[in-house]
Amino acid sequence: MDQSFARRYRLTKTDEFSSVFGFRRAIRGQWLMLHYLPASGDTARLGLVVGKKLLKKAVDRNRLKRIVRDLFRRERHRLPACDLIIRLANRPAELQSGALAGDLQQLLDRLCRQKPKPVVA
C-alpha cells in the first residue's frame, strides 16, 4: 500500500483551496477544523492552513503540519475521494502531539461516516 505524500495527494493551487472553502462544508473538532469538498478524483487530497495568529512560533506550526500530514498519509486509503483542508480552529494551551492527532482522527472518522456525495456541476 502506498503511504507516501506525493504531490497528487496535495492541494497546491489557490483555486483548489477557494473551491473547498466556497463549498462551505466543515466538521469542527476541539482544536482543528476540517473543510471538505467531494472530489471527482479517485483519492483524497490534503491542504493545510496554519496561521501565525494562533501559533506564533514556526516550530509549532511546522510540528502541527507534520502531525496532520503523517496521520493523513496513514489514513488516506480509507478516506472518501474528497479535497480536505485542515486548519487550526482554537489555540491549544499546549501543543501536544497525541491530543492533536486524536482530534484529527475523530474528524476523519466523522467524515468517513458521513460519506459525502459527489458534487453535480
Domains and CATH numbers, the chain: 7-114 (3.30.230.10)
In the predicted model, what is the mean pLDDT of the chain? 88
Query: By mean pLDDT, which of 13-17, 43-47, 110-114 is the weakest?
Result: 110-114
Read off the amino acid at residue 78. R
Which pLDDT value is given to residue 99? 87
pLDDT band at 89, cuts 50/70/90? confident
Q: What is the mean pLDDT of residues 56-61?
A: 91
Q: Are 64 and 50 in contact (CB under 8 A)?
A: yes
Q: What is the mean pLDDT of residues 94-114?
A: 89
pLDDT at 90 exceeding the cut of 90: no
pLDDT at 84 exceeding the cut of 90: yes
Which pLDDT value is given to residue 121? 54
C-alpha cell recorded at residue 10? 496535495
- Phi-psi domain of 91 (left: phi exceeds 0; alpha: psi -120 through 50; beta: other): beta
Which pLDDT value is given to residue 118? 59
Gap between the Cα atoms of 91 and 64, Å rounded: 12
Q: Characterize the bridge pairing of strands 26-28 and 32-38.
A: antiparallel
3-state helix, strand, coil in the chain (%, to 5): 45, 20, 40
Residues composing the chain = 121
pLDDT at 68 exceeding the cut of 80: yes
